[in-house]
Amino acid sequence: MAEIADRAAGLAGPGLFRQFDRLGDKWPAFAAVIGIVAAWQFVVWAFAVPTYMAPGPVDVINAFRQESVTLWNNFWPTLFEALLGFVFGNLVAILLAVWFVHSTTAERAFYPIAVFINTIPIIAVAPILVLIFGNGLAPKIIIAALICFFPTLVNMVRGLKAVSPATLDLMRVLSATRSEIFWKVRIQSSLPFLFAALKIASTTCVIGAIVAEWIGSSFGLGALIIEATYNFRSPLLYATVFTAALLAVAMFSLVSFAETRLIRWKAADVH
């Protein structure tokens, strides 16, 4: 029995040490967050700042507890809009990037149009889409998709083209078809670039959904931000902003987790 216990301790030891090392790497971030929250609360108390101007962390926590139903009900529409915008925006960008790589004419014709669309501020596009599609989910999803679209298009085109000529020559020597070159070489080389763009899109799609909700919407976290601002409900405003930030962090974490599972290597210039 003693030998079995020693072996179990030996097997568990490295795993426990790795977990402690990970916690040790993260303690500065936890300490910084705790320090900022403590300083925030101290400033509010020390200078007697009115709650409607700048609530303290305690007020925000109370808002989370008291307005949990309101926050929860408005969280789901924003999540739905951000997710659909993320999926559709990135899907269209990937399909266009594949087309551009296989057709130089298409790239010369439509890439400048994509650049032009990207230069238009989203806040200016939102009212136009609301006029066309109404105040439903459609304009919010389209705006979230638009804000995801361009970074993914640029990175995907770059990734599909980031294949060395020597590799392409080798594939041709091996009598590989265009389809085999695409799936086994180009797609593999593009994945690090794609996930770099998806990380950006995972947060910006939330921003797009919230900005769209500012323009003529009665639901969602964006609409709740406007309502809390106009009615000087600062604790609820801060709680809503933190909820939106947590949503963006959660989506970023999911994309990062998928990246670690799907990609075992990265190009030298992709971080």
Confidence of residue 23 (pLDDT cuts 50, 70, 90): low
What is the mean predicted confidence (pLDDT) over 117-132?
A: 85
Backbone torsions φ then ψ of 81, nearest 5 degrees: -65, -45
Bigger pLDDT: 137 vs 82: 82
pLDDT tens profile 150-178: 999 999 999 888 877 777 777 777 767 77
What is the mean predicted confidence (pLDDT) over 20-45?
A: 77
**Cα 93 vs. chain centroid, distance in angstroms?**
16
Domain residue limits, the chain: 1-48, 58-262
Does the domain at 58-262 match CATH 3.30.300.180? Answer given as no
**pTM confidence score:** 0.81
What is the mean predicted confidence (pLDDT) over 74-100?
A: 95
pLDDT of residue 245: 94
